[in-house]
């Protein structure tokens, strides 16, 4: 860690703040924290993905990995705490109170900022879910610290600063963002951007229980009801094994059916690139990329998608990427493993038929021919 020679004065020039001059009162901030997100009794898998990443950062820094669990007292919180240790936590910080039964910004922001101010972590990571982004924005503003949204890569550099990389300019370039002189350094990461760490059975370790600083009467917002999504409407894109997606190369909204057909022939999920959502051709929950879903399937087939960075960061975790595009110089061929230079509209029906034929064969022996 570099020690400033002079007391940190308010930055004089516009760019002076790009030097690391961590104020004295922030030097006590240590350890990496991950927020373990629960909604309605379920821990969101992104929390475990972040634990894997948090573990790496903590080991590099030589500090502890803390798991933050907020919720109503009872089995749910206890279960999440126990799991957190199996995913690498050294310590768990828990605020358990009936006021925290359902997510409400006011109560959760209070709990989280209170924990941070009391136990002082240097890094705080949250999932970029609807809950995580709502909470992170409020917490960062309350603490007046920096927050990098939707990071696609996290690292600590030589002087121990968090380097958070994310797409920028509408997803055309990547940038690396630092919060040098404020603590904690906060970042959110989308589900599936980081790989799931291996769970190792471990006993519950140290648990710090902290009291919530607000009571129900302090909270203005009341939950009237919760309407769960119907399963039939739920696109399970993020966790699908095979995904087929279409882009502007399809030419018309009607041709998107060709993508759906191929997906159906393989039992795959279907998705699309951002322009199709912006044009209103496909519903937004099918969007793949930086501002949509991040996927890590075993096979990803991209049809008529050019491969802008904002799309690339959402699919790079796929084991095998097959791209179909008429333009052999399309950026998608820079990160696809297998390419076909042809018109997707013509090719997709043939591929659908070929897959159907091959997969409906009765034995594997027959398939070999």
Partner 1 sequence: MHIVVCIKQVPDSAQIRVHPVTNTIMRQGVPTIINPYDLFALEEAMRLRDKFGGEVTVLTMGPPSAEDSLRKALTYGADRAVLLTDRFFAGSDTLATSFALATAITKIGETYGVPDLVFTGKQTIDGDTAQVGPGIAKRLGLIQVTYVAKVADFDPAARTITLERRAEGGTQVLKSKLPCLVAMLEATNEIRRGSMENALRAARAEVVKWSAKDAGVQDMSKCGLKGSPTIVKRVFAPSARAEKAKFIEAPEGGNLADALIAEVFARQPNLEADLTALARGF
Residue list, annotated binding site for FAD:
273-274, 287-291, 304-311, 325
For the bound state, the minimum distance from the C-beta of residue 266 to partner 1, rounded and expressed in Å, comes to 6
Handedness of CA 219, 224, 230, 234 (dihedral sign): negative
Nearer to partner 1, 208 or 264 (CB): 264
Cis peptide before 184 (omega within 30 of 0): yes
Q: Give the nearer residue to partner 1 in terms of CB position, either 84 or 162.
A: 162
Q: For residues 94 and 332, which CB has a smaller minimum distance to partner 1 in the complex?
A: 332
CA pair distance 256, 344, nearest whole angstrom? 10
Give, rounded to a whole angstrom, the gap between the first and last alpha carbons of the chain. Answer: 63
Establish if 173 lies at the interface with partner 1 (CB under 8 A).
Answer: yes
The answer to whether residue 224 forms part of the interface with partner 1 (CB under 8 A) is yes
Q: With beta carbons less than 8 A apart as the criterion, state whether 128 and 122 touch.
A: no
Q: Which is nearer to partner 1, 142 or 257 (CB)?
A: 142
State which of residues 72, 82, 174, 214 lies at the interface with partner 1 (CB under 8 A). Answer: 174
Q: Does 221 bind partner 1 (CB under 8 A)?
A: yes
Number of residues that bind partner 1 (CB under 8 A): 104
Q: How far is the CB of 90 from partner 1 (least distance, A)?
A: 27
CB of 20 to partner 1, least distance (A): 9
Minimum CB separation of residue 351 from partner 1 in Å reads 5
For the bound state, the minimum distance from the C-beta of residue 177 to partner 1, rounded and expressed in Å, comes to 5
User: What is the footprint of partner 1 within residues 112-151 (CB under 8 A)?
Assistant: 129-131, 133-134, 136-138, 140-142, 144-150
Interaction of residue 182 with partner 1, rule CB under 8 A: yes
DSSP-derived secondary structure letter, 18? G
Provide the pairing of β-strand 242-246 with 153-156: unpaired
User: Considering only residues 91-110, where is the footprint of partner 1 by CB under 8 A?
Assistant: 102-106, 109
Minimum Å gap between C-beta 9 and partner 1 is: 11
Annotated binding residues, written as ranges, equal 273-274, 287-291, 304-311, 325
Q: DSSP for 298-354?
A: SEEEEES----HHHHHHHTT-S-EEEEES-TT-GGGGT-SEEEES-HHHHHHHHHHH
Binding residue (CB under 8 A) for partner 1 from 60, 199, 206, 328: 328
* Angle ∠(59,60,61) on CA atoms, nearest 5: 90
Q: Kindly tell me which of 58 and 149 has the beta carbon lying closer to partner 1.
A: 149
**CA atoms of 189 and 197, how far apart (whole Å):** 15
> What is the spatial distance between Cα 194 and Cα 86, in angstroms, rounded to a whole number?
17
225-254 residues near partner 1, rule: CB under 8 A: 225-229, 241-242
* Residue closer to partner 1 (CB basis): 5 or 366: 366
Angle between helices 105-119 and 130-143 (to 10 degrees): 50
What track of x and - describes contact with partner 1 for positions 37 through 56 (by CB under 8 A)? x-xx-x-x------------
Distance CA 32, CA 64 (A): 6
Distance separating alpha carbons of residues 284 and 287, to the nearest angstrom: 5
Nearer to partner 1 by Cβ, of 169 and 199: the residue is 169
339 binds partner 1 (CB under 8 A): yes
Residue 26 as a binder of partner 1 (CB under 8 A): the answer is no
Residue 83 Cα to chain centre, angstroms: 19
Q: What is the DSSP string of 199-221?
A: P------EEEE---S--GGG---
């Amino acid at each position: 860690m570099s020690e400033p020679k002079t007391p940190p004065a308010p930055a004089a020039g516009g760019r002076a703040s790009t030097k690391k001059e961590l104020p004295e009162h922030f030097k006590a901030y240590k350890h990496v924290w991950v927020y373990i997100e629960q909604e309605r009794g379920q821990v969101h898998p992104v929390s475990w993905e972040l634990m894997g990443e948090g573990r790496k950062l903590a080991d590099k820094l030589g500090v502890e990995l803390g798991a933050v669990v907020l919720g109503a007292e009872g089995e749910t919180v206890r279960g999440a705490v126990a799991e957190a240790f199996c995913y690498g936590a050294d310590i768990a910080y828990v605020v358990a109170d009936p006021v925290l039964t359902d997510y409400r910004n006011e109560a959760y922001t209070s709990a989280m900022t209170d924990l941070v101010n009391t136990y002082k972590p240097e890094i705080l990571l949250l999932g970029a879910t609807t809950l995580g982004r709502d909470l992170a924005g409020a917490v960062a503003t309350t603490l007046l610290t920096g927050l990098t949204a939707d990071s696609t890569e996290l690292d600590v550099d030589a002087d121990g600063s968090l380097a958070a990389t994310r797409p920028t300019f509408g997803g055309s370039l990547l940038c690396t963002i630092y919060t040098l002189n404020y603590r904690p350094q906060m970042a959110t990461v989308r589900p599936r951007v980081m790989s799931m760490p291996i769970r190792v059975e471990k006993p519950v370790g140290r648990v710090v229980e902290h009291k919530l600083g607000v009571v129900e009467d302090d909270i203005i917002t009341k939950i009237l009801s919760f309407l769960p999504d119907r399963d039939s409407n739920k696109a399970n894109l993020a966790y699908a094994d095979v995904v087929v997606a279409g882009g502007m190369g399809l030419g018309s909204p009607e041709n998107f059916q060709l993508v759906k057909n191929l997906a159906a022939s393989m039992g795959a999920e279907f998705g699309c690139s951002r322009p199709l959502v912006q044009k209103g051709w496909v519903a937004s929950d099918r969007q793949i990329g930086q501002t949509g879903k991040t996927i890590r399937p075993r096979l990803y087939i991209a049809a008529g998608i050019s491969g802008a960075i904002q799309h690339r960061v959402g699919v790079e975790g796929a084991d095998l990427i097959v791209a179909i595009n008429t333009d052999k110089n399309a950026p998608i061929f820079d990160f696809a493993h297998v390419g076909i230079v042809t018109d997707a509209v013509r090719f997709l029906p043939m591929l659908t038929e070929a897959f159907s034929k091959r997969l409906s064969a009765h034995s594997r022996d027959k398939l070999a021919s």
